[in-house]
Amino acid sequence: ATAPPSGNTDDLTRIRGIGKVIERKLHELGIKTFRQLADLSAADVQRVNQAIDFPGRVEREGWVEQARGLTSR
């Protein structure tokens, strides 16, 4: 995932399936914005699934798609 602009952090808990604990894990991975979630590659998705210890959760709950809906292009 790409680094967010300095100081830019979105409330990732707005995405269904992401609570405070998972948000903290995403931050540890460097994922702090909806844009970063929206731009995850397949390899990034696997890395996130592994880090949160919930295989397939990112895909099942549509985090990438939800994040795309929350970003402004």
Please list the pLDDT of the chain residue by residue as tens digits (73 residues): 555 455 689 999 999 999 999 999 999 999 999 999 999 999 999 999 999 999 999 999 999 999 999 996 5
Q: Which residues have a Cβ under 8 Å from the Cβ of 1 and sit 6 or more positions away? A: 29, 30, 31, 36, 37, 39, 40, 44
Q: Letter for the amino acid at 48?
A: V
User: What is the reported pLDDT for 27?
Assistant: 96
Q: In the block, which residue shows the tokens 């798609």?
A: 65
| Predicted model pTM | 0.85
**pLDDT score for 8:** 86
Cα separations in angstroms, 41 against 21, 44, 58: 22, 5, 12
